[in-house]
């Protein structure tokens, strides 16, 4: 096995862990955005019932916070996608490294056999 193969597999596992962490963070931000949406809807309902201007300000603030939470969730989802792509590429690189090691081992096995004297066979001419 080539020395780069275990290192590449470790990097792939690290990238896969990063993808999992990104997914978890994105879900947390989406939960927060959902909560902010419910909060803004409650402020809107209060405004409809009372026509109080402070409810409008708090509703707009809640929608702004929701927009920010959704933007953060989108960034984490993009990070997850990049980490998954990196995982795939690293696994392909690990396979190629392993395969090249196998080819090199086969080549080293064949070269001494080619240099060895014939094994008692006589050639007919």
Asked whether the CA dihedral 28, 33, 37, 39 is positive or negative, the reply is positive
Tell me the C-alpha distance between 123 and 125, whole Å.
Answer: 6
pLDDT (0 to 100) of residue 120: 58
> Residues 22, 80: contact at Cβ < 8 Å?
yes
Q: Which pLDDT score is estimated for 89?
A: 96
Residues 72, 75, 78, CA angle at the centre, nearest 5°?
155
Residue in the block written with tokens 């409008």: 56
Task: Answer whether 19's CB lies under 8 Å from 83's CB.
Answer: yes
| pLDDT reported for residue 1 | 54
> What is the residue-level pLDDT of the chain in tens, covering all 125 positions?
567 788 999 999 999 999 999 999 999 999 999 998 888 888 788 878 887 777 778 788 888 899 999 999 999 999 999 999 999 999 999 999 999 888 888 887 776 656 656 665 555 55
User: What is the greatest pairwise CA distance in the chain?
Assistant: 112
Quick one: pLDDT at residue 19?
A: 95
State the Cα–Cα distance between residues 44 and 51, nearest whole angstrom.
10
pLDDT of residue 2: 64
User: pTM, whole model, 2 decimals?
Assistant: 0.70
pLDDT for residue 113:
58
pLDDT for residue 106: 84
The confidence score (pLDDT) of residue 57 equals: 82
- Nearest residue to 77 via CA among 112, 93, 85, 109: 85
């Amino acid at each position: 096995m080539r020395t780069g193969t275990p290192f590449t597999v470790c990097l792939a596992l690290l990238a896969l862990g990063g993808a999992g962490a990104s997914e978890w963070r994105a879900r947390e931000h989406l939960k927060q955005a959902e909560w902010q949406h419910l909060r803004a809807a409650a402020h809107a309902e209060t405004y409809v019932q009372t026509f109080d201007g402070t409810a409008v300000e708090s509703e707009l603030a809640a929608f702004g916070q929701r927009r920010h939470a959704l933007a953060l969730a989108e960034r984490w989802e993009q990070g997850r996608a990049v980490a998954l792509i990196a995982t795939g590429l690293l696994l392909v690189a690990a396979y190629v490294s392993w395969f090249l090691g196998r080819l090199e081992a086969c080549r080293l096995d064949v070269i001494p056999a080619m240099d060895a004297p014939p094994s008692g066979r006589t050639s007919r001419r």
